Chains A and B, each alone.
Chain A
Amino acid sequence: GQQVMQIPQYQHVQEGEDFTTYCNSSTTLSNIQWYKQRPGGHPVFLIQLVKSGEVKKQKRLTFQFGEAKKNSSLHITATQTTDVGTYFCAGRTGSARQLTFGSGTQLTVLP
């Protein structure tokens, strides 16, 4: 079945440092979505990427979708304490259509 791997599992950064999480799929994805879950909260949708090589930005967050549509990354520039949480990627294949989530990267930002 479809598998989506995400690394690293944990990341501690000093406030102001950059952060990147990577997502890799065993199969080609029709699209990929990113979610953020704050401690004690539920996942909240951030963005969706559809096209090969697509890059999207949301303020300090940059999302990329690989050329082969099998990998993706989320990069946060100059982290802030408000960025704390777990970031999940979720990929959808064209046939199964179900959304398979990566294992998540738990980000801790030290003030």
Chain B
Amino acid sequence: KAGVTQTPRYLIKTRGQQVTLSCSPISGHRSVSWYQQTPGQGLQFLFEYFSETQRNKGNFPGRFSGRQFSNSRSEMNVSTLELGDSALYLCASSFDREASPLHFGNGTRLTVT
């Protein structure tokens, strides 16, 4: 069974630009969550999607958005990038929203210059 696939693996962007990250969950998983990981802040929850609907949103500004498609693939978008957005963005999929473990992708390393 293929794991969670995130593309691209690395991105370098300039302040003010926007970026779109992609996540393909494990086949059969309907829940996709996004996390931002930085050395000082650990894993910060961005949002969770289930059956194409955003179910939960973390405490991030509106520049961070996402969506989920009918095939459960998900994208997240960050507009008007700031230096502080440099981080590892992790996507995780799970079978359901109740008690299933999260399966993480390798992440997208975003650097904003």
What is A's interface to B at a CB cutoff of 8 Å? Answer: 1, 30-31, 33, 35, 41-45, 48, 50, 88, 90, 92, 96-104
A-binding residues in B (CB < 8 A)? 33, 35, 42-43, 45, 48, 55-56, 58-59, 90, 92, 97-99, 101-107
Known: A42-B106, A88-B43, A104-B42. A97 touches B101 (CB 8 A): no
Interface SS of chain B? strand
What are 8 inter-chain pairs, A to B, with CB distance below 8 A?
A1-B59, A30-B99, A31-B99, A43-B43, A45-B101, A50-B99, A97-B97, A99-B102
Question: In the bound complex, do residue A99 and residue B45 qualify as a contact, i.e. CB atoms below 8 Å apart?
Answer: yes
Let me know if A98 and B56 touch, CB within 8 A.
yes
The residue from A43, A50, A98 contacting B104, defined by CB atoms under 8 A apart: A43
